[in-house]
């Protein structure tokens, strides 16, 4: 892999291997083992649930949007994505220059 990288970039990289104790010390120097998933050599064995995470992120998005503006509302057609309310165009609109 190193043949594809710039020498200056190689100096900044540390490859970590689960079965190499010294390499895991490097990993734990930068990432606390309590938050690092077990699969990556850590102690955190929380199971990721995409549905729960998505719901949590949607609530957070709505909360953040409401902090910045009061004109936003949940659009149930777009699966809860927060979008600005737009006035519908008249069907009698004429194109410019026609």
Write the pLDDT tens digit of every residue in 15-69: 889 999 999 999 999 999 999 999 999 999 988 899 999 999 999 998 888 877 6
Which neighbouring-strand residues pair with 75? 81
pLDDT(7) > 50: yes
Q: Does the residue 98 lie in any domain?
A: no
**What is the number of other CB atoms lying within 10 angstroms of the CB of residue 41?**
19
Q: Does the residue 91 lie in any domain?
A: no
Query: Within this chain, do residues 15 and 36 fall inside the same structural domain, yes or no?
Result: yes
Q: Does the residue 90 lie in any domain?
A: no
Q: Does the residue 96 lie in any domain?
A: no
What's the whole-model pTM score? Answer: 0.45
Q: CA dihedral in degrees (34, 35, 41, 46; nearest 10)?
A: 100
Q: Does the residue 60 lie in any domain?
A: yes
Q: Does the residue 18 lie in any domain?
A: yes
Domain that holds residue 67: 50-84
Q: Does the residue 59 lie in any domain?
A: yes
Q: Which pLDDT belongs to residue 84?
A: 55
Q: Which pLDDT belongs to residue 98?
A: 46
pLDDT(95) > 60: no
Number of domains making up the chain = 2
Q: Does the residue 97 lie in any domain?
A: no
pLDDT(88) > 80: no
């Amino acid at each position: 892999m190193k043949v594809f990288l710039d020498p200056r970039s190689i100096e900044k990289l540390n490859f970590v291997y689960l079965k190499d104790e010294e390499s895991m010390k490097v990993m734990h120097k930068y990432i606390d083992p309590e938050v690092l998933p077990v699969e990556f050599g850590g102690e955190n064995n929380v199971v990721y649930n995409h549905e729960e995470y998505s719901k949590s992120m949607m609530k957070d998005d709505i909360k953040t949007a409401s902090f910045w503006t009061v004109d936003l509302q949940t659009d149930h057609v777009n699966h809860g994505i927060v979008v600005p309310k737009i006035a519908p165009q008249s069907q009698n609109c004429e194109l410019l220059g026609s």
